[in-house]
Amino acid sequence: MLEVSNLAKSFGNRQILKNISFTLADGEILTVVGPSGAGKTTLLRIIAGLETADAGTMTLGGQTYQLSGEDRGAVGVVFQDFNLFPNLSVIDNITLAPQLALKKDKAEAEKEARELLGKLQMADKGNLYPYQLSGGQKQRVAIARALAMQPKMLCYDEPTSALDPALRDQVAELILSLKDSGLTQLIITHDMDFAKKVADQVLEVKPLEG
């Protein structure tokens, strides 16, 4: 279960987020919607440990975090522009962290990576480099890379923004199929249709006055 309570964040004297609290059961999907500049991405970055919060706590899988940027291995992130490592092949993108951080041996990490790629219909793409992939394929590599770390939860930043509309439904399906496998997911989006399609819960973030 993910529980966020009383999260607040300012940049300088501009308050971005205030009193953000929500609870998300295991295997559920929360979409965070709101206009640009409302702090959606900031919220994701705080939950992922890339940004510190001014106040608030987060509990995930029984562990409580003070949101001060501490290591948060249990949260995977699929970035808006994916941030794949261009110097590494698809397989190496996926197996790098399991080998270095989880100390898995190469053969085991590669076997798991190939299984993940198979599930994402990318089985034949393992030896390509990111520049050789389409946007949708890059996104699936980014998802596989995050899943290879066995996160308790996966966060997406605007997963539909870099894709053409036809791919939108495919992403929705993919996200729902991951939900079936029990993964908790948090999705930042400004696409209301998409948000309603996949969400168990919708959190609306509004720009704060002043």
Q: What residue ranges bind another protein (CB under 8 A)?
A: 48-50, 71-73, 75-77, 79, 81, 83-88, 96-97, 100-101, 129-131, 145-146, 149
Provide, rounded to whole angstroms, the least separation between the CB of residue 149 and another protein.
6
Instruction: Give the whole-angstrom CA distance, residue 85 versus residue 97.
Output: 12
Number of C-beta neighbours around residue 107 at 10 A: 9
Q: Based on CB atoms, which residue is closest to another protein, 17 or 94?
A: 94
Tokens for 135, please give them. 């946007």
Q: Based on CB atoms, which residue is closest to another protein, 60 or 84?
A: 84
Q: Based on CB atoms, which residue is closest to another protein, 22 or 129?
A: 129
Tokens for 35, please give them. 């206009």
- Helix, strand, coil shares of the chain as percentages rounded to 5? 35, 25, 40
Question: Could you tell me which of 61, 87, 54 has the C-alpha nearest to residue 75?
Answer: 61
Q: Based on CB atoms, which residue is closest to another protein, 128 or 202?
A: 128
Provide, rounded to whole angstroms, the least separation between the CB of residue 51 and another protein.
10
Provide, rounded to whole angstroms, the least separation between the CB of residue 150 and another protein.
11
Q: Based on CB atoms, which residue is closest to another protein, 72 or 125?
A: 72
Provide, rounded to whole angstroms, the least separation between the CB of residue 77 and another protein.
5
Provide, rounded to whole angstroms, the least separation between the CB of residue 165 and another protein.
25
Question: Could you tell me which of 76, 86, 83 has the C-alpha nearest to residue 116?
Answer: 76
